[in-house]
Structure 1
Amino acid sequence: MNVIEVQNLRKEFNSYTSRPGLAGAFRDLFSRNYKVHAAVDNISLTVKQGEMVGYIGENGAGKSTTIKMLTGILTPTSGSITVNGMNPHKQREEFVRTIGVVFGQRSQLWWDIAVQESFRLLKKVYRVSDEDYNHHMGHVIETLEIGPLLDKPVRKLSLGQRMRCELAAALVHNPPLLFLDEPTIGLDVLVKLKIRKFLQEINEQYKTTILLTTHDLTDIEALCERVVLLDEGKIIYDGKLNQLQEHAVDGKQIEFEFLSEVPRSSLPRVENLQWEQKDATTWLGYINGDEQMVSRLISDVVQRNPIKNVRINEISTEEIVRKIYEEGMALT
């Protein structure tokens, strides 16, 4: 069953420009120069029930605009959207009862009242029974470790505490679909780990479908098997995370940690080899080739310079995505 079905979705915005000088400012009072910018450019996408999908891309790629259209906040310029079997814009009141949304830079909690009072207000808004609320929210509060925070005003919470409460608030009505837009922005490692563990648990227990946008690709690696990569409003990759490396990167990354500083000139020059300095005593070598070529490279480097450590690393998703954008690599 498809929870999200999107066909040829497009969202355009008018971008205005000002004319120079006083005369230009006067003319702008009567007519404005503008051009049409497509933030989302004819994308098609389906998400099945129970999937956890990472929706990633650079700033301005169209991620948040897509989320806002899928949640009914923005109306598309063209194309069709069906979420949970409904049109998010035409069946607004019924639709919002079936989704949960967390925007990392927006709050749905009331700033000056206790967290638990915000939860109770949301319980009334979504018409959740006392029995369902106590059963479900008891698990949510325990797992996110926010029990001691319930009687505190939101304004007195740290960023990490508030984001855990925001996530709990989005789940008051136990929605089958959860949209997360930068939910871990600015959080420390321990809070991120708690949120990731919780998301995995609700996905396994309730088959909650999750669409996650984030710049922290370690979140994607920890949670999502499938990624959708967006560039300038277009989908350039939609598939398994473990296949992205096969599509985008050939070869291996070898990390050489030397006993002292080593200049680039003392490292071997080999075809299909690129060097990148990590710090004063550490270099990363990216090489396209088989195991024999890797062995020869390591042997050559060890003979030239005193080595403290050598590691053959899996190239991270962050590095893959960086290469895709910097080098304009095709993923077809």
Structure 2
Amino acid sequence: MSVIELSDVSRAFTVTSRAGLRRTRREVRAVDGMSFTVEPGEVMGYIGPNGAGKSTTIKMLTGILVPSGGSIRVAGVDPSRNRLKLAKRIGVVFGQRTTLWWDLPLKDSFAVLQKMYGVPLARHKENLATFVELLDLGDLLDVPVRQLSLGQRMRGDIAAALLHDPEIVYLDEPTIGLDVISKARLREFLAEINAARRTTIILTTHDLDDIEALCTRVMVIDHGHQIFDGTLDGLKSSQSAPRTLVVDLATSLPPIAVEGATVTKVDGPRQHLTFPPTTSAAPLLAQIAANYPLVDLSVAEPTIESVITQLYAPASS
């Protein structure tokens, strides 16, 4: 049974503008006719540009907003009509807002959450011990939240969102502003929790490395409409983003001439050539090896950034 079900969901807002003494109102549909399901244990990346409708969708899934039309079921209930009941079955992390108590030590925030959610004390202690170890929180438990760095607070927020064993976790920009090491630690932790507990994770982010590291499924939306739903490999293959041939020569040369490829960058003896994704690299390699002092060569697949850019290109042109 799906843990999340949306059927023809829309959410409209009334926007008022003023010109002189005259006010006009217009309706803006942040989400328009959205339908999808999410299965238990899935890790889904929910991505799109600013204003695409991502945050509006998450707010409807958590019961903060009521849909203007359509129906939503999360963990078997209507979120907007069962917010308290649903709260015990979901966890939420907003990258720029904390759910922790600013002036309390981190361990006291965790203790308050145990009381709020009614988690059995033994289970709370077990979860806390696990998360403290996996997220390296041991030295931070006595530190007031306001004294934590952004990366430390984010680790605390993620632990707080999971202490009550939620079935579903919504992560909105969970790695925003974090350094490379903190990001890697969080990604490893989330992957382990998903594997060990089959926690369903919905991830909205502008950091596409998060998507590549964690997500088994990607949904791309724009102006409230779904424009792709599938695997990351499927997303890449759906677009004709070029592949890149990285050629290391024995010496620096002007841009080399290779039929079927175009030099896009020359960096000393290293040259970057792009070629269509449907073209084999073998004949290109043969041309280069026969005509140039080749030392090394590698093929780089399209980055997710280039794929997403191309996906939105028709809409913006």
Closer, same or farther: CA 297–251 of 1 in aligned 2, 3 Å: farther
Give, in whole Å, the separation in 1 of the partners of 2:307 and 2:257. Answer: 24
Aligned to 1:202: 193
Residue-by-residue CA offset, 1:164-184 (whole Å, 9 max, x unaligned): 000011112110110001000
Closer, same or farther: CA 232–39 of 1 in aligned 2, 3 Å: same
Q: Is the 8 A contact 1:251 1:290 kept in 2?
A: no
SS at match of 1:235: strand
Give, in whole Å, the separation in 1 of the partners of 2:34 and 2:253. Answer: 48
Closer, same or farther: CA 281–110 of 1 in aligned 2, 3 Å: farther
Q: Is the 8 A contact 2:219 2:226 kept in 1?
A: yes
Give, in whole Å, the separation in 2 of the partners of 1:233 and 1:260. Answer: 52
Q: Which amino acid aligns with 1:268?
A: A
SS at match of 1:88: coil
Aligned to 1:285: 273
Aligned to 1:171: 162
Closer, same or farther: CA 176–297 of 1 in aligned 2, 3 Å: farther
- Is 1:17 the equivalent of 2:7? no
Once superposed, what is the RMSD of the aligned Cα atoms?
2.4
Gaps of at least 5 residues in structure 2 are none
Q: Is the 8 A contact 2:241 2:307 kept in 1?
A: no
Closer, same or farther: CA 291–49 of 1 in aligned 2, 3 Å: same
Q: Which moved more, 1:233-242 or 1:248-257?
A: 248-257
1:260 offset after TM fit, Å?
8.3
- Is 1:320 the equivalent of 2:307? yes
1:54 offset after TM fit, Å?
0.8
Give, in whole Å, the separation in 2 of the partners of 1:285 and 1:108. Answer: 48
Q: Is the 8 A contact 2:258 2:287 kept in 1?
A: no
Closer, same or farther: CA 113–246 of 1 in aligned 2, 3 Å: same
From 218, 230, 233, the equivalent of 2:224 is 233
1:254 offset after TM fit, Å?
1.3
1:207 offset after TM fit, Å?
1.0
Percent identity of the aligned residues? 42
1:18 offset after TM fit, Å?
2.8
SS at match of 2:31: strand
1:290 offset after TM fit, Å?
2.3
Give, in whole Å, the separation in 2 of the partners of 1:259 and 1:71. Answer: 59
SS at match of 2:13: strand
Residue-by-residue CA offset, 1:107-153 (whole Å, 9 max, x unaligned): 10111111111111111110111111011121111111111111111
Equivalences for residues 20-31 of structure 1 within 5 A: 24=20, 27=21, 31=22
1:204 offset after TM fit, Å?
1.4
1:283 offset after TM fit, Å?
5.0
Give, in whole Å, the separation in 2 of the partners of 1:12 and 1:275. Answer: 47
Q: Is the 8 A contact 2:221 2:227 kept in 1?
A: yes
Q: Which moved more, 1:306-315 or 1:86-95?
A: 306-315
**Runs of 4+ with deviation above 6 angstroms:** 258-263, 278-281
Aligned to 2:39: 48
User: TM-score scaled to structure 2, two decimals?
Assistant: 0.91
User: TM-score scaled to structure 1, two decimals?
Assistant: 0.87
The aligned length equals 314
Aligned to 2:285: 295
Give, in whole Å, the separation in 2 of the partners of 1:147 and 1:297. Answer: 58
Equivalences for residues 262-281 of structure 1 within 5 A: 266-268=255-257, 270=259, 273=261, 275-277=263-265
Give, in whole Å, the separation in 1 of the partners of 2:244 and 2:311. Answer: 16
Residue-by-residue CA offset, 1:249-283 (whole Å, 9 max, x unaligned): 365211245788877xx453756x45544878765
Q: Is the 8 A contact 2:168 2:199 kept in 1?
A: yes
1:73 offset after TM fit, Å?
1.2
